[in-house]
Amino acid sequence: MNYISRISPREAYAAYIMGSVLVDVRDQKEVEAKSVSVNNLITLPLSELDQRYGELPTNRPVVVMSGAGIKSRQAAQFLSEKGYTKVSTLDGGLLAWEEEGLPVR
């Protein structure tokens, strides 16, 4: 099993700037209500992950996020089991991202 790191919102934003893929695993309604404001955010609900994980690149680090960090840990574990080696979770999820003053829409 691969080690899944938990990274802070600022570390996640820096990782995104450096080319990591941000994946939001919340439901579509949750994402529409409020989300991080970054280009190329991948919305992939946890309920669809087992069918759609192949849409995620394997050659770039993946940062998984959810509302508070619970769904993202489940998703990151799943991706790790499917062979993704550079997976981390956004510690505290969207709530922590917003508290840090990072961009939301």
For 37-49, the DSSP string reads --TTPEE--GGGH
Residue 65 counted as domain residue: yes
| DSSP symbol at 26 | S
Residue 105 counted as domain residue: no
Q: In whole angstroms, what is the distance from residue 1 CA to residue 13 CA? A: 26
Total domains in the chain come to 1
Going residue by residue through the chain, which has 105 residues, state the pLDDT in tens, using 9 for 90 and above: 567 899 999 999 999 999 999 999 999 999 999 999 999 899 999 999 999 999 999 999 999 999 998 899 999 999 999 999 899 999 999 999 999 999 999
Residue 38 counted as domain residue: yes
Residue 56 counted as domain residue: yes
Residue 82 counted as domain residue: yes
CATH number of residue 69's parent domain: 3.40.250.10
Residue 104 counted as domain residue: no
Residue 51 counted as domain residue: yes
Q: How far is CA 23 from CA 15, 63, 78, in A?
A: 12, 6, 13
Q: Which domain holds residue 38?
A: 5-99
